[in-house]
Structure 1
Amino acid sequence: MYDLKIINGTVLNFETNKGENCNIGIKEGVISCIGACPESAKKEIDAEGKIVSPGFIDIHMHEEVLDYAKAHDSYDISNSMVLMGVTTCVAGNCGNNRQSLEDFIGFIQKYGAPVNYLSFIGHNYLRNEVGSADRYKKSSKPQISQMQKIVIDSLSRGAVGISFGLEYSPGVDLEEVLSLCNVVEDKNLLLSAHYRKDAKHAIDSLNELVDISKLSGFPMQISHLGSCSAYGQMKEALELIQNAITQGHDISADCYPYDAFSTYIGSAVFDEGCFELWNKSYDSILLTEAPYKGIRCNQELFYKVREEHPNLLAVAFVMNENEVVEALKSPFVMVASDGLFRDGQGHPRAAGSFPRVLGKLVREDQELSLIAAIKKMTIMPAKRLGLNSKGVIKEGYDADIVIFDPLTIIDTATYEAPKNTPIGIDYVIINGTIAVENNSIVNGTIGMYIPSRL
């Protein structure tokens, strides 16, 4: 007897690039049958007219601050992740961890999580840990030595690799970056990096990331390519990355489907000269948290908030949407959310990225085929992360599955209401257990921490 059986659904076959009407039998968290699957089941889901897809894998998001005193109430961003079909996601991006890897893993092992998690160890987090607090200065040799020890320890705990946030720490040089990479002997490691500078500096920044990969010998995942290059540089950026790949370098990228980015208003991203760089004015900045939630900046407010509320999340409407779409269509670019919430506030990408691609870019705008988009959310990130039993509907693979209606799936999250739940997602199944039913979380503890398998 199956634990769960899905009948009459359209199952995506990545080998034939077609949908096939068939049943799926699930036992003990694993897909045990695809086809007629004649055995009975403890629970049966009729997916007629629906797409049965591998669970989406978000290779770039930002985890919660987890609090033992709040237990399951600590989860914020990952609740939105699972509601938009994400079954596995990667924390610790852009050089930032929101707590130690030890605490992060320990919390998930104790309480479970709404999604499966992997994590990078972030360079800027390491800098803070060792007292290298001045973002405009390079770390000292003793500080770098301390960071190297934490990197080795983090990798032993199963970190998937090292992430860098070069724009957030302008004082970091190539030597400091490579010193952390070169301490690792095992080359089964993934680097992830938030570029040094966007817009007219995008090409130089991307070249730097390619050089880091070349010099370190590690593959490079370029973070949120849209917010780097969607200012008139995307065509050249995509050509640069493709040339590096053609030359044999292991480079890929991710992108979210929005024309606005989000980060803390006090970060170096908003340093002097940013508006000239983007050819935008102060009112392109939307503040997302109290006491200024929903207010656009003027010059006075911008500098006031930078000074008095530097950790307030802001949204910057500065990118060209057509170039974001161009990035998402590229064969080496995956869909990712870059999602970050604090107390439910932030950018709607954290609750809408994946259904937005399927509803807007695929169905409405026909910029991508359905199967091409799904691959960018599943098999591509699974392979990148070494998740050899995820990302595909196949016998023997983990039963991480999303069942959605291709005719109705769409995001509903807005900049005013960034946590609005998408529509059109009937079920999300994680490790063989139903996590979401009819757009509502029914079990938020199924997820686990996955040590790196690279």
Structure 2
Amino acid sequence: MLDFVVRNARIVDGTGAGFFAADLAVSDGRIAVIGRVPEGAAAREIDARGRVLAPGFIDIHNHADFDLLRDPSGGISLRQGVTTIMVGQCGLSPAPVTDGTVPLLDRYCGFLRTGGETDWSWRSFADWLDRLAALPLGLNVGAFVGQGTIRLAVMGFEDRTPSRAELDAMRGLAREAVDAGAFGMTSGLGYPPGFFSSDEEIEYVAGGLADKRGLYLSHMRNQAAGSPESVRATLNVGRVNGIPVQVVHLKAKAADRPDMAEHLFSIIDGARAEGIDVTVDQYPYTASSTTLRILIPNHLHSGGLEGLLDALGDERRRREAAQEMREWTRCTAAIERGILLMDVPMTPQFRGLSLREAAEAMGLDEVDAALEIIYRNEGNDAACFFTLDEQDVRNVMVHPLVMVGSDGSHPAPGRLCHPRSAGTFPRVLGRYVRELKVLRLEEAVRKMTSLPAARLGLGRKGVLRPGMDADMVLFDPDTVLDGSTHKEPLAPPLGIDKVWVAGVLACEDNLLTADRAGGLLRFQ
């Protein structure tokens, strides 16, 4: 007998094809039948009442690495219909580490942990995957290794060119991670130590992915006026090593160049015509989010967070840093567009204020206020940066190579964060499909399911078809919408009825069940 059947569903199968009406039955964690299921053939029956049944969404860009140790349920993602997340993003993964670099990475990643401490009981990437596999995961988790973490393990936060031995060691760590089950390597070239690496260094280290054709994903060095050059550098990693690449959270700002989106996609489409396997991901918001430390010029990050705080603790060096920031377009442009302070645990009086409001309260200008907040919070700060216009988001979203990735995390209750963590996928379905009609429903679902599944080589996920894993979401297309805002960033979404992981009901009407059917995914 079949385990259960969902009747009267509007099937959106994940391929981008038009919906069709059918029943869908599940047995032993797999889809068994799509079509007409006879009465009495299943132990349980669920009436979809014409709502949409789709493959579980795949979040290809998530920062919940450390959060899973505190809460392995994955509830923030599950409530959105997400059944698989990919961690280890933007060059920062929890492994590989050494006894000497654990304190450096632990201190630096404070802004990513969003609540809770880490015991650092692992060292190699294989150890880290084993640690994840031992958790009672509520959803599927796959992992990338971070280029920044690799460089930190070999060179610390040193701003210099690596030796040949160091290059070989970093390339070897990338290879070891992929052999252990990493899906590839990410870079965060807007963060230390990633931004200390030359393009040639990145290309060489990424060669460790070549034997298994692991995926290289890049948070690019420049996401503003220099985006075309950064896209070309990402493509060259694929060209040199014969591996697939992905441009993450692409931002094509018309303020930098009126035809920026068209120009960037002409470069990307041209590379595909050349044979380079490149794709893109994006989150559906005009604000980004990260630490205020990105406002500080790169050279001041040599020595890691400890070195930066030492510099900010010295009056002369802080004054020099502030003057340099006032003359640096990246810093002044971000301040001009607007910055909202989110998680600032040591200065809670500024939580939820704009940087301008905090500066006025301190009697400082915004540059000095940013430095003071960084210093007082010891780098454990997070903020939202309003860098895009609405049309910029739409111009990227419509391209067929673009998939959806939240760039979010699973913060502890009460933490203030970007609303993308709890709202990305329902926002696409509600705002950009139903309200603005930027995408067809079927195309939006493809961008959340079969497109990332194919990119990751997840052959049993991303499509509703007999024999595929029964990771599924049932939602109401007439009401689905994000509930999260900048003031209430963890508010649950609307219209997500049921979510199954491997045929097990994981979430119903925003309430998690007691069953945990997730697990670790390893790259094959």
* Residue 6, structure 1, aligned to residue 6, structure 2: yes
Quick one: percent identity of the two aligned structures? Answer: 30
Matched, 1:243 2:239: no
Cα shift at 1:320:
1.7
1:392 CA drift (Å)? 0.5
Indicate conservation of the 8 Å contact 1:65/1:74, yes or no: no
Match of 1:138 among 137, 142, 161: 161
1:414-454 CA-partner distances (Å, limit 9, x unpaired): 1122111101000010111010111211146221111113x
1:235-293: CA deviation from partner (whole Å, max 9, x where unpaired): 21122111211222111100000001111222467763565577453671111113232
Aligned to 2:52: 51
Equivalents in 1 of 2:90, 2:497: separation in Å?
32
| Residue 373 (structure 1) aligned with residue 444 (structure 2) | yes
2:445 partner amino acid: I
Assess if the C-alpha contact under 8 Å between 1:162 and 1:191 holds in 2: yes
Residues 16-63 of structure 1 deviation map (CA, whole Å, 9 limit, x = unaligned) = 822111111111100011111225323322111210001101111112
Q: Where do 1:23-172 residues align within 5 Å?
A: 23-38=23-38, 39-65=40-66, 73-75=70-72, 78-100=74-96, 101-134=125-158, 136-168=159-191, 169-172=194-197
| Contact kept? 1:167, 1:269, Cα under 8 Å | no
Inter-partner Cα distance in structure 2 for 1:372 and 1:432: 24
Answer whether contact 1:335 1:377 (CA < 8 A) is retained. Answer: yes
CA distance in structure 1 between the aligned counterparts of 2:169 and 2:230, rounded to whole angstroms: 27
2:394 maps to which of 317, 320, 325? 325
- Is 2:265 the partner of 1:197? no
Supply the distance in 2 between the matched residues of 1:403 and 1:103 (Cα, whole angstroms).
36
CA RMSD of aligned residues (A): 2.3
Aligned to 2:481: 410
CA contact (8 A) 1:158 1:451 kept: yes
* CA deviation after TM superposition for structure 1 residue 170, in Å: 2.0
Amino acid corresponding to residue 301 of structure 1 in structure 2: A
Question: How many aligned positions are there?
Answer: 447
Q: Which has the larger share of helix? A: 2
Shift of 1:125: 1.1
Q: Is there any run of 5+ residues in structure 1 with no aligned partner, and where?
A: none
2:305 matched to which residue of 1? none
Secondary structure of the 2:75 match is helix
- Deviation at 1:13? 4.1
Q: Contact (CA 8 Å) 1:400, 1:430: kept in 2 or not?
A: yes
Aligned partner of residue 12 in structure 2, secondary structure: strand
2:241 aligns with 216
Rounded to whole Å, the distance in 2 between the matches of 1:143 and 1:63 is 29
Change (3 A) 1:401 1:231: farther
Residue in structure 2 matched with residue 429 of structure 1 by the alignment: 500
Answer with 285-294 or 323-332: which moved more: 285-294
1:258 equivalent to 2:329? Answer no
Decide whether the 8 Å contact of 1:234 with 1:323 is kept in 2: yes
Q: Deviations over 1:385-419 (max 9, x none)?
A: 00111110000000010000000000011112211
Where structure 2 has 5 or more consecutive residues not aligned to the other structure, the ranges are 97-124, 299-324, 357-365
Q: Distance in 1 between matches of 2:127 and 2:476?
A: 38
Q: Which has the larger radius of gyration?
A: 2
Look up the match of 1:286.
340
Change (3 A) 1:276 1:450: closer
Report the structure, 1 or 2, having the larger strand content.
Answer: 1
Partner of 1:312, secondary structure, is coil
1:358 partner amino acid: L
Further displaced range: 268-277 or 361-370: 268-277
Supply the distance in 2 between the matched residues of 1:228 and 1:187 (Cα, whole angstroms): 35
CA shift for structure 1 position 184: 4.2
CA contact (8 A) 1:213 1:220 kept: yes
Q: Does the CA contact (< 8 Å) of 2:206 and 2:237 recur in 1?
A: no
Q: Which amino acid in the other structure matches residue 373 of structure 2?
A: V
Instruction: Give the structure-1-normalised TM-score.
Output: 0.92
| CA distance in structure 1 between the partners assigned to 2:52 and 2:243 by the alignment | 36
Is 1:302 paired with 2:370? yes
- Residue 85 and residue 15 in structure 1: after superposition, are their counterparts in 2 closer, same or farther (change >3 A)? closer
Query: 1:75 deviation in Å?
Result: 3.8
Equivalents in 2 of 1:51, 1:274: separation in Å? 49
Letter of the 1:149 counterpart: G
Q: Contact 1:227/1:260 (CA < 8 Å) preserved in 2?
A: no
CA offset at residue 102 of structure 1? 3.5
1:316 aligned residue (385, 389, 405): 385
In structure 2, relative to structure 1, the CA distance for the partners of 1:143 and 1:217 (3 Å cut) is same
